[in-house]
Amino acid sequence: MLLADHFPPTLPAALQGRLTTRLPLPADVTPVAVLLTAAARRYDPEAAADEAALRSRMVGLKSWARRQVVVVPTTAEGTASLELPPLAWIALEDRASGRTNVQFVISAEAPEREALAAALLDWAVEVGGSFARARGVETTKLTTDANELDRDRQRLLEAAGYEMVRSWLHMRRPVAPEEATTLPAPREGTRVRRVHRHDSGLPVAQDVRTVHRMLEESFADHFNSYRESFAEFVQRLIEDPGEADWDHWWIAEIEREGRWLPAGGLVAAPIRATATRGQGTYLEYLGVHRSARGHGIAKSLLRAALRDAAERGREFVDLEVDDDYPTGADGIYASMGWETFERTRSWHAAAPSHPSRLLEPPPSA
Q: Sign of the C-alpha dihedral, residues 294, 295, 298, 302?
A: positive
Q: pLDDT tens for residues 233-292? A: 888 787 765 557 899 999 999 999 999 999 999 999 999 999 899 999 999 999 999 899
* pLDDT at residue 222, rounded to an integer: 57
Amino acid found at 278: G
Query: Buried (b) or exposed (e) across 191-206, using 16+ Cβ within 10 A?
Result: bbebbeeeeeeebeee
Write down the pLDDT at residue 349.
Answer: 98
Asked whether residue 8 is domain-assigned, the answer is no
Decide if pLDDT at 103 tops 60: yes
Any domain includes 77: yes
- On the question of pLDDT at 127 being above 80, the answer is yes
Q: Which of 83-92, 179-188, 225-234, 285-294 has the lowest mean pLDDT?
A: 225-234
Domain-embedded: residue 228:
yes
The single-letter DSSP state of residue 110 is -
How far, CA to CA in Å, does 49 sit from each of 41, 136, 272? 10, 34, 12
Residues 25 and 90 in one domain: yes
247 belongs to a structural domain: yes
CATH number of the CATH domain containing 219 = 3.40.630.30
Over residues 203-220, mean pLDDT:
89
**Residues 157 and 239 grouped into a single domain:** no
**pLDDT at 52 exceeding the cut of 80:** yes
- CA–chain centroid gap for 240, Å, is 14
Q: Is the pLDDT of residue 217 over 90?
A: no
Residue 262, CA distances (Å) to 39, 173, 220, 292, 297 in order: 41, 27, 16, 9, 11
Compare 129 and 219 and report the one with higher pLDDT. Answer: 129
Q: Is 325 a member of any domain?
A: no
* Span 311-330, pLDDT tens digits: 999 999 999 998 876 566 77
Question: In terms of domains, do 156 and 25 share one?
Answer: yes
HSE of 35, CA atoms in CB hemisphere, 13 A: 22
pLDDT at 327: 61
Question: For position 344, what pLDDT does the model report?
Answer: 96
Residue 339 maps to a domain: no
Specify whether 108 is located in the same domain as 198. Answer: no
* Residue ranges making up the domain that contains 303: 176-314
Query: Would residue 61 count as lying in a domain?
Result: yes
Residue-wise pLDDT for 132-158, tens only, equals 999 999 999 999 999 999 999 999 999
Question: CB count, 10 Å around CB of 144?
Answer: 20
**Residues 214, 144 share a domain:** no
Q: Per the structure, how many domains does the chain have? A: 2
On whether residue 297 sits in a domain, the answer given is yes
**Cβ atoms 274, 280 nearer than 8 A:** no
* Residues 265, 191 share a domain: yes
pLDDT given for residue 242 in this prediction? 56
pLDDT at 339 over 70: yes
161 with 54, same domain? yes
**60 lies in the same domain as 81:** yes
Residues ≥6 apart with Cβ < 8 Å to 362: none
Query: Does position 1 have pLDDT exceeding 70, yes or no?
Result: no
pTM: 0.89
How confident is the model over 56-101, as pLDDT tens digits? 999 998 999 999 999 999 988 888 888 899 999 999 999 888 999 9
Q: What per-residue confidence (pLDDT) applies to 249?
A: 96
